[in-house]
Amino acid sequence: MSLTLDTSLDDALGAAPAKTLDRAFDMRSVGDLLAHYPRRYADPGELTPIRDLPLGETVTIVAEVLSSTARAMRNRKGAMVEVIIGDGIGRMSLTFFAKNLGAAKWRSEELAVGRRGVFSGKVGMYNEVTQFAHPEYELFEDEDSARRSADARAAVPIPIYPATSSIQTWQIAKLVGRVLDGLGDVPDPLPAAVRVQEGLLDAGTALEHIHRPPTRNDIDPAVRTLRMHEALVLQTALLQQRDAVRALSATPRPAQIGGLLERFDSTLPYTLTDDQQTVGAQVAADLVGAWPMNRLVQGEVGSGKTLVALRAMLQVAESGGQAALIAPTEVLAGQHLRSITRMLGPELAPLVMPTLLTGQLGAADRRRAALRVASGQSLIVVGTHALLGEKTTFADLGLVVVDEQHRFGVEQREALRAKGSSPHALVLTATPIPRTVAMTVFGDLDTSVIRTMPAGRAGIETFVAPLAEHPGWFNRVWDRAAEEIARGHQVFAVCAAIDTAKKTVEAGAEQVPVPDAANGPRWGVVQLDEALATHPKLGALRRAVLHGRMPSDEKDAVMQAFARGEIDLLLATTVIEVGVDVPNASTMIVLDADRFGVSQLHQLRGRVGRGGVPGLCLLVTEAESGSIARERVDAVAGTLDGFKLAEVDLELRGEGDVLGAAQAGVRSSLKLLRVVKDAGLITMAREIGEAILADDPDLTSHPGLREVIARRVSDDDRAALAKN
């Protein structure tokens, strides 16, 4: 019986290999295994420079046996084999231990002088000689092999797979070969016309050539074909989800002449920026459309996204509809409520009754808030996860606003949307997203961008304090903080940890791996508070600590005190990353700045320079010049353009991290596709997907595409896409 991509590995390979692959890579089907593509290819004639091997790392090399000896152990039972392999420039030793001399001789004879093969192990050093201790290996076929000539064999690339200690690359190659030998017809997602026009392979040949390429020249066409498969499958699935939303009917929420929105606009003391007007018009049109709005609004910190969202809430409120804004933290939810109430003013606020609903409210306050929401008395509701609770009901939920979408799991967002009847959805993010990432991750949403900043911003200057080169600059950082406070301004100091003595890292902090990550951040807010207590200039000033493990009412009290100017220096974790607005704060100091991602540093920097006070951001790092960690920090200091930084972030960190763990369907589909490098391919795939769905919405005439989407984008993944 021929294997299919859906055949279980247990049936295809047997219980033992299937169990190993499941544990190592979470593979369960033939399709899972064949989507585990080689990360590179070696040539049988390729001899890797041994002298360049990194000490302590597990590597795979191609080399030739130069000598091989077996001998009994002198001081204990057993025997050992010592093998020297080389590449014509350097040499290294292989050591094997055996139960007896006979077993050792067998190993030595197998590793005969002149044999070439693939060797894998952890690079060590013994008597100043590079070595592998008991490595895994696979030898190439004998020179007199009848299967193919030496010249032909030398032209066949060797796939090198991502591997683990439990299963080596050539073991994976053998298992892949077994399923390929038994594989039947493979469904092809590409329409034949597209395949011919773009010079691509059929699906079966593409899989064969990416895993067992006859020559080097056969690899690239296979990769290009499978990359197009990924792009088309993902874009078509996203378009299907967009169309599914558009098939729903929504309650139109038109603005009225002389209504709440018009009255609000007339009270604004400033003119909306061009981008705010453009995006506002897009949102207003969505709210009267035939289907629910599903729009992503992205914009720099301080660009006025909250104002755009509030205007949408008021438009919904005019017809008695309610709007729910869900924020990731209690601090941010409280600030949103105060900001919205302040913007509405004493005349409009009582008409819509903005209400806060969080888990930290007292029982009586929470009951009162829940009653206002359930009765429809409150038309604007701001909260955290408490909005998702079963006891929270709405009279007429017409708009869901999700602030900082990446902070929420898909189940949480869906739970809120399910409390209404096809409510409109507006997603806000201050994390700039490259266009191709937005198209890939949020391809089912309409996207708007606010680039222009409101007038009156004093701007921000950013500097790196590189302690590896200038240790003395650490003291200068705190002198500079004291100077700003002496001018009547306030200062943030942010740490990656709460308490480094107890190894407590702030929950939700975007920890980015660096070479010495095992040692953890140097500074926690606890240690920084202790150190600054004795500082000659800062010790007597008003300091406070803020982190995510404090009770919510205590966190809120600290932030409000800081906003009122009652605290000079706030020592915090990334709990202040999003949304905290203190116009008098002039300086942001980030310690261990290399422990944060590019977008996170950009967000933190956006906490200062928000009013008429010029902003200063000091990024303190011990990362060495030239390291990737240092590149991240230098990139942030080099530009204030968040969209440019988003591209840098993507290049430095890799797409899997940027896309986010919540995007299950997206991440599982991105094996070969690179959303920056393949921007043109993604755009083309979207156009092809749109054309296909326009003529064949159920994919009846495209069974291959329908089948591959069903396999790669599971029901759970599709649900995840639906909830974005």
CATH number for the domain that contains residue 103: 2.40.50.140
Is pLDDT of 588 > 60? yes
Average pLDDT of span 572-580: 70
Kindly report, residue by residue over 647-662, the tens digit of the pLDDT: 777 666 655 443 443 3
pLDDT of residue 241: 81
495's tokens: 């740490």
Examine the domain organization and report whether 384 and 493 are in the same domain. Answer: no
Examine the domain organization and report whether 347 and 273 are in the same domain. Answer: yes
Does residue 527 form part of some domain?
yes
Per mean pLDDT, which range of 362-366, 580-584, 601-605 is the poorest?
580-584
What is the DSSP secondary-structure string of 443-464? TTSEEEEE-PPPTT---EEEEE
Angle separating helix axes 305-317 and 274-286, nearest 10 degrees: 30
Examine the domain organization and report whether 509 and 574 are in the same domain. Answer: yes
Examine the domain organization and report whether 491 and 420 are in the same domain. Answer: no
What is the DSSP secondary-structure string of 452-506? PPPTT---EEEEEEETTT-TTHHHHHHHHHHHHHHTT-EEEEE-SEEETTTTEEP
- Residues 528/474, Cβ–Cβ less than 8 Å: no
Examine the domain organization and report whether 330 and 352 are in the same domain. Answer: yes
Average pLDDT of span 510-526: 59
> Residue 332: pLDDT band by 50, 70, 90 thresholds?
confident
Examine the domain organization and report whether 390 and 494 are in the same domain. Answer: no
Kindly report, residue by residue over 604-651, the tens digit of the pLDDT: 888 888 767 789 999 999 988 888 889 889 999 998 877 778 777 766
The mean pLDDT value of the chain amounts to 83
Work out the percent of the chain whose per-residue pLDDT is above 90.
Answer: 42
Angle separating helix axes 410-417 and 715-722, nearest 10 degrees: 60
Average pLDDT of span 406-427: 69
Kindly tell me the burial class for residue 258, based on how many C-beta atoms sit within 10 Å of its own C-beta (0-12, 13-18, 19 or more): exposed
Examine the domain organization and report whether 433 and 477 are in the same domain. Answer: no
Does residue 724 form part of some domain?
no
Kindly tell me the burial class for residue 524, based on how many C-beta atoms sit within 10 Å of its own C-beta (0-12, 13-18, 19 or more): buried
Does residue 560 form part of some domain?
yes
pLDDT of residue 412: 58
Last residue of a domain, one of 124, 156, 188: 156
Does residue 11 form part of some domain?
no
What is the DSSP secondary-structure string of 90-152? -EEEEEEEESSHHHHHHHHHHT-TT-EEEEEEEEEEETTEEEEES-EEEEPPPTT-SSS-HHH
Kindly report, residue by residue over 688-710, the tens digit of the pLDDT: 999 999 999 999 999 999 999 88
- Residues 390 and 383: their CA atoms lie apart, in Å, by 14
Examine the domain organization and report whether 411 and 472 are in the same domain. Answer: no
> What's the alpha-carbon Rg for the chain, to the nearest Å?
30
Last residue of a domain, one of 608, 639, 670: 639
Average pLDDT of span 151-163: 72
Q: What is the biggest distance separating any 2 CA atoms in the chain, rounded to whole angstroms?
A: 99
> Residue 211: pLDDT band by 50, 70, 90 thresholds?
very high
Examine the domain organization and report whether 486 and 632 are in the same domain. Answer: yes
| DSSP-assigned beta bridge partners for residue 569 | 491, 543
Last residue of a domain, one of 450, 479, 504: 450
Nearest-5° angle of CA 39, CA 41, CA 47?
A: 130
Examine the domain organization and report whether 488 and 464 are in the same domain. Answer: yes
Kindly report, residue by residue over 35-50, the tens digit of the pLDDT: 999 988 877 656 567 8
- Residues 376 and 398: their CA atoms lie apart, in Å, by 11
Examine the domain organization and report whether 413 and 542 are in the same domain. Answer: no
- H-helix or E-strand spanning residue 223: helix 219-246
Does residue 272 form part of some domain?
yes
> Residue 664: pLDDT band by 50, 70, 90 thresholds?
very low
Average pLDDT of span 656-685: 63
- Residues 44 and 140: their CA atoms lie apart, in Å, by 8
- Residues 509 and 501: their CA atoms lie apart, in Å, by 18
Does residue 654 form part of some domain?
no
Per mean pLDDT, which range of 302-306, 531-535, 538-542 is the poorest?
302-306
CATH number for the domain that contains residue 593: 3.40.50.300
- Determine the structural domain holding residue 625 and report its residue range: 460-639
Does residue 37 form part of some domain?
no
Does residue 86 form part of some domain?
yes
Sign of CA dihedral 109, 114, 119, 121: positive
Is pLDDT of 120 > 90? no
Examine the domain organization and report whether 549 and 576 are in the same domain. Answer: yes
Average pLDDT of span 498-525: 60
pTM above 0.75, yes or no: no
Q: How many domains in the chain?
A: 3
DSSP state for residue 159 in the 8-state scheme: E
Is pLDDT of 299 > 60? yes
- Residues 213 and 160: their CA atoms lie apart, in Å, by 12
| DSSP-assigned beta bridge partners for residue 476 | none
Per mean pLDDT, which range of 34-48, 326-340, 346-360 is the poorest?
34-48
Kindly report, residue by residue over 73-112, the tens digit of the pLDDT: 887 888 999 999 987 778 899 988 888 898 899 999 999 9
What is the DSSP secondary-structure string of 421-432? SS-EEEEEESS-
Range ranked top by mean pLDDT from 114-118, 177-181, 235-239, 554-558 = 177-181
Is pLDDT of 190 > 90? yes
Kindly tell me the burial class for residue 626, based on how many C-beta atoms sit within 10 Å of its own C-beta (0-12, 13-18, 19 or more): exposed
Nearest-5° angle of CA 320, CA 324, CA 328?
A: 170
382 compared with 421, residue with greater pLDDT? 382
Is pLDDT of 210 > 60? yes
Kindly report, residue by residue over 360-400, the tens digit of the pLDDT: 788 898 899 999 999 999 999 999 888 877 788 999 999 99
> Residue 260: pLDDT band by 50, 70, 90 thresholds?
very high
